Structure 1
């Protein structure tokens, strides 16, 4: 199947070709036609499966088909709710990229916390598409900078992560402000009871799309684990980076304190690294991610808060310096590599205290990971 088979107009198809999109992913094949005709959609698909374009493209198409875009300073037509600042910025960029050369200009604005609200209050004026985190959105509503009564399409992206981050009450407040007659699109990486409850309350006769691609994604990732004592873990990490000449590696840790400490130790040993976590300002997080993506900084150390918000199409290496709490989070972490049909490498550093938990992760994942003994490695000087 080609994008030209999905009901998109020539201007959008031209932009898709210019962006080097070859053929649509499974989620795009099913979601784009359904969203184009105004259906509600419940999509279950892993991060990195192409779901952002699966709603951005038909939404832009529908806005293009409208005879006139009636602009208001505070009323908007499309609302996309996301869990993190980084994802908000990325989704807005996708809208802006695909909408840049369309005949009818579509204004998209991302709003999120961690930065001053005043510039965002100005930026949202006349925006057709609003991409927002729940807390900042409600702040702008309270300031009368945004009205949700004109929303025609609501998208909940990474809905399970929104719930995990404690935004359930904020989401309900947003739902209460939206018009009853609207199109709703809900995407989630998992389908738990909470997601089903939300779906039952906000979706009307939805088209359900469930894309099972997790195993394929894992199979594209070369997974390796190193057994190591806690005392040698930092030296082993530096050994792997230096001896492997890793040029772009994302390292996951459990706490912000560990992230900052690890960056300091790496820098002391001649490895450029930057930390990215919830205690950093939005400006610092944006700058860190930009430098990492561009290759200016070879190592990015992040916490699980950002596991789904880091979207780098050809990231070659992920290292679990510390294991996550759940097998699901492990999948999301290593899923930062091996995206878009590319191969990738995921390495985990396993202390004796980690071994039982790592066994549980492997069992849930349905895949054994080869364990390498690091005791014989000469780490002096690293």
Structure 2
């Protein structure tokens, strides 16, 4: 299937080609026509499957000719769980809105920065991309109004519910008109998601893209078994020996992320941390440097990694395993993308082996396990 067959405008098709999008992903094939037809949509697909493009393109087309609303009354609302994802979605909207005949004003708002510039930015806004907490602050200050919203998107809804945004989202729903298009996108379908789906969606087009086991074949996976005190030195050894010039390292806590970065820097390896305790300016700068290839190592928690989207990321290292096997698959899926090979490495201690067995069963794939303290026998 081609983008031309999905009903997109010639201007958007031309820009897609310029951006080197050659063919739609599975979720885009179904979501784009459904959203163009102004249907409600429930899309379940893994991170990196093209969900953002699947709603940005048709929503921009639906906006054309419908941009005249009262000042500070947005046309469309996109709710996201993190600042990084808000900026990423905003960037995609800005790229593709440049192809339209009439300008579309998109604004991303989130906490951690001054609210005053964001309040001023609500003038003439068409597409508002927001984290729930900051949006409620803007509503409390009468800086923006949602009574003219024609479309609501909940992006990464699974993570939003995991973070306890459900009460905030229920408050936001009370500000919205009852008649609107609703789009709910998620990497997983949990019981919490099913409950919010019942509240928000009306007779939706349901798109569930099963995990593509073949995509894991592009990723070379290796696990190394070691005592916990050797993880730090072995991480540094891997980075140097494999000449990793761009590697994303996952850890489970803010404390561990900072500890890893400090050790790497002390050993002459350029690294930065991205987590919820960092200022927005620091997070934005670190992410931009990493995406551009000017930062060698980025160490992140799962939540912050939601805004990291790089087509040709060569290495991912799990310094610690996530609790959920699905989160492990999402982590390593940030390499081996765009039909490019990648490498994923896990550093394991003895007590993590049982959990790693569960992860392998979920993947349907065995991973080579190397005990670094056991000498390799020569033939």
Same-fold call, TM cutoff 0.5: yes
Is 1:2 aligned to 2:2, yes or no?
yes
Offset of residue 376 of structure 1: 5.6
**Alignment pair present for 1:52 and 2:52:** yes
Aligned-residue offset at 1:339: 2.1
Does 2:144 correspond to 1:135?
A: no
Residue of structure 2 equivalent to 1:111: 109
Instruction: State the shift of 1:18 in Å.
Output: 1.1
Gaps of 5+ in 2: none
- 2:360 is aligned to 362
Aligned to 2:176: 178
The 3 A distance-change label for structure 1 pair 355 and 213 is closer
Equivalence map 1:262-277=2 (5 Å) = 262-277=260-275
CA distance in 2, matches of 1:195, 1:7: 30
For residue 299 of structure 2, what is the aligned residue in structure 1?
301
Deviation, 1:234, is: 0.8
**How many angstroms apart in 2 are the aligned matches of 1:207 and 1:326?**
28
* Structure 1 residue 49: Cα displacement: 0.5
Distance 1:252 1:61 in 2: 38
Q: How does 1:256-335 map to 2 (within 5 A)?
A: 256-335=254-333
Given the alignment, which residue of 237, 249, 255 partners 2:247?
Answer: 249
SS in 2 for 1:222: strand
Deviations 1:324-367 (A, max 9, x none): 11212211211211222222111000111211111121122221
Deviation at 1:71, TM superposition (A): 4.0
- Local SS of the residue matching 1:348: strand
Residue in structure 2 matched with residue 29 of structure 1 by the alignment: 29
TM-aligned CA deviation for residue 184 of structure 1: 0.3
Where does the alignment leave 5 or more consecutive residues of structure 1 unmatched?
Answer: none
Q: Tell me, what secondary structure is at the counterpart of 2:261?
A: helix
**2:283 aligns to what SS in structure 1?**
helix
Taking the aligned partners of 2:218 and 2:348, their CA distance within structure 1 comes to 22
Q: State the match for 1:373 in structure 2.
A: 371
Whether the 8 Å CA contact 2:108–2:130 is kept in 1: the answer is yes
TM-score (norm 1): 0.96
Equivalent-residue separation in structure 1 for 2:375 and 2:227 (angstroms): 12
Match of residue 154 from structure 1: 152
Count of aligned pairs between the two proteins? 376
TM-score scaled to structure 2, two decimals?
A: 0.96
**CA–CA distance in 2 between the matches of 1:377 and 1:320?**
23
- Residue 343 (1) aligns with residue 346 (2): no
Check whether the contact 2:69–2:148 (CA below 8 A) recurs between aligned residues.
no
Give yes or no for the alignment of 1:62 onto 2:62.
Answer: yes
1:65-76 correspondence runs (5 A): 66=65, 68-76=66-74
Equivalent residues of 1:308, 1:332 under 8 A apart: no
Aligned mates of 1:263, 1:92 — CA distance in 2:
29
Check conservation: 1:72, 1:125, Cα contact below 8 A: no
- Helix, strand or coil for the counterpart of 1:346? strand
Aligned to 2:344, the other structure's residue is in SS state strand
Quick check: 1:307–1:336 contact (8 Å CA) kept in 2? no
In structure 2, what is the Cα distance between the partners aligned to 1:71 and 1:45? 33
